[in-house]
Amino acid sequence: MANRILLIVVLVPLAVIIIALAVANRGAVPFTLDPFNPGNPALTVEWPLFVYLFGVLALGMLIGSLATWLRQGRYRRDARERKKEVDKLRETASHGGSAPQLPHAS
């Protein structure tokens, strides 16, 4: 039920806005990579403005996802180490061995 509400309240209006933006910005806009000679046809492309907007949006999402993934690396590493410890303890327990003893605090 919550997914359906999220879909209706957030994603549908967002889709309408994106479609309206694409329809309103259909005109071809030149994009050049040569700032000193903007008329150079080898380094200039003309695409509709909404293609640039969607491209920048996708690039921003990609960069943000990469930054998040890199920042969370230590948490994934800690989780892998804990999983290895748990697997080792389970293996020891399943073979009938005694569990490792914790050091006593004096």
| pLDDT tens across the length of the chain (106 residues) | 888 888 888 888 988 988 888 888 888 888 888 888 877 888 888 999 889 988 998 999 999 999 999 999 999 999 999 999 999 999 988 886 555 566 665 5
- Orientation of helix 73-94 relative to helix 49-71, angle to 10°: 50
pLDDT for 102 equals: 61
- What dihedral do alpha carbons 25, 55, 59, 32 form, nearest 10°? -100
Exposure pattern of 58-81 as b/e (b: 16+ CB <10 Å)?
Answer: eeeeeeeeeeeeeeeeeeeeeeee
Q: What is the pLDDT of residue 7?
A: 81
Q: Are 99 and 92 in contact (CB under 8 A)?
A: yes
Q: Return the DSSP state at 43.
A: G
pLDDT of residue 69: 94
Give the pLDDT of residue 6.
80
